[in-house]
Amino acid sequence: MLDLPHPTPDAPTTDCFALAKALSGVHFIGGRYVPARSGKTFAVVNPATGAEVARAAEGDAADVDAAVADAVEAQKAWAKVPARKRGALVHACAAAIRTHVDELGRLIALETGKALRTESRVEANVVADVFEFFGGLGSELKGESVPFAPNVLSVTVREPLGVVGAIIPWNVPMLLMALKVAPALVAGNAVVVKSAEEAPLAVLRICEIMNRILPPGVFNMVSGFGPECGAPLVSHPKVRKVTFTGSVETGKIVAKAAAEKLIPVTLELGGKSPMIVFADCDFDKTVSGALTSMRFTRQGQSCTAASRIYVERPIFDRFVGEMKKAVDAMVMGDPLDEKTDIGTIVSEGQLEKVRAYIAEGSATPGATAHVCSAMPTDPALRKGLFIQPVIFTGLDGKSRLVREEIFGPVTVIQPFDDPEAVLAEANDSDYGLAASLWTNNLKVGLDLAHRLEAGLVQINQNLVVQANLSYGGVKSSGLGKEASLEAMLEHFTHKKTIMVNMS
């Protein structure tokens, strides 16, 4: 249980600024808040104002060693807890998180710039749902009876791997943390999470909340930068599994480090998701779906964002016009304001990257940049990392904007005439995470769904990750699955065969 006293309030709070300061300068290791061994911290900045709101502990190999050591000891006892009891404790964590949903939504809006109403509060609710879902799966850690010989009892059992190292990104940090931590814990592992340097606060608060219920050392959190904190976690000799969400380039580095130790790794590395719209679609529903598919309320900062939209030529011009009209109606402003639809980009570096893509697209001969929505006028937000969404037309398939993951509010809409040709274009990508099809002809939709090279294909919808639905990509989008029973069994346990000769 949580080692008291601690610097943060027990009860949920609506003052995210005070909570951010209270969470400053600490990791969560062995059931308590501890500062970085070096004493170093780094700034956590509100991207809507440019103001520093907290200081995060700047972890290094010494902090990772401490967290892993505590996790190793805690995991030995945790693995002996009956699986259903482990699940019940994780389910209780979900209930505790649910009482803090508004608090966590405000905190994540503060540190990431995601709008509270449309994004951050939604994410906090889904986090509670993920822990509830996996909390009910303790009984599913089943083995098998294997026919071998009449005088030999042969069975398999599922056993935990040990200590899991989890590295999470900044775009939906609470959700992606939950997708890794929940199945790992129920399966009997202990976990050390390395948070994203842009967004360490909300996940740290969740770790504290859960440690009021879990045994100390089972769930630990460290913050810091990739080379100094993430790399030591991946390469640590006592870490027996790594699960990572982030860029393809970093994912390859993680995979190589894991390969040196011959340990399993799960990688979710992004996407360039196609959305294919046929003329027979439910038009209004599809335009609305395009707003959701592109994750405009998250400023396009999503692995599954529909940043390649292919529209059948008879409705192409109408679709572009209605899409721009719909995005124009979205309000950009203070992420903590309930009236805001669209918040900010997460960091100055990411903002400059997005601007560079927009400039390149705008300078391409024949291309048109349809700039949408409006910048906020509040003087308090003049230093905020806001950028207007852009819909491009007139770009061909060779453009970097069509081929590369931008991770910003930029999508390219292209016309098509032939289903086979658009399928070839959709599959002509290094990525293969998600895709969507919009048509009332389910024969066509199902045929293309089977042939699209993506781990998740949706027809007439494009929901974000949902508990109980297997999620993960092919090609450069990664290895392994998340969010499902399959993920817990295949990625957080190993199967042991036990044979008893009874003759």
Parse the chain into domains and list their residue ranges: 16-269+477-497, 274-459
Helices (H), 428-495: 442-451, 485-492
Q: How confident is the model at residue 1 (pLDDT cuts 50, 70, 90)?
A: very low
- pLDDT for 175: 98
Residue 487: CB atoms within 10 Å: 24
CA neighbor of 477 nearest in space, from 348, 355, 340, 304: 304
Q: How confident is the model at residue 6 (pLDDT cuts 50, 70, 90)?
A: low
CA atoms of 216 and 206, how far apart (whole Å): 14
Span 395-424, pLDDT tens digits: 999 999 999 999 999 999 999 999 999 999
pLDDT of residue 89 exceeding 50: yes
Q: Which CATH superfamily is domain 16-269+477-497 in?
A: Aldehyde Dehydrogenase; Chain A, domain 1 (3.40.605.10)
Span 106-127, pLDDT tens digits: 999 999 999 999 999 999 999 9
Note if 123 is an active site residue. Answer: no
Q: How confident is the model at residue 314 (pLDDT cuts 50, 70, 90)?
A: very high
Domain spanning 274-459, CATH architecture: 3-Layer(aba) Sandwich (3.40)
CA atoms of 222 and 227, how far apart (whole Å): 14
Q: How many contiguous H segments (helices) and E segments (strands) does the chain have?
A: 16, 20
Range 283-291 average pLDDT: 98
Catalytic: which of 268, 425, 453, 482? 268
Range 350-378 average pLDDT: 98
Contact 105, 120 (CB under 8 A): yes
Give yes or no on whether 16-269+477-497 and 274-459 have one common fold: no
- pLDDT for 145: 96
pLDDT of residue 2 exceeding 80: no
CA neighbor of 22 nearest in space, from 13, 498, 476: 13
Question: What pTM was estimated for this model as a whole?
Answer: 0.97
- pLDDT for 227: 97
Range 360-370 average pLDDT: 98
Average pLDDT, the chain: 97
- pLDDT for 121: 98
- pLDDT for 7: 76
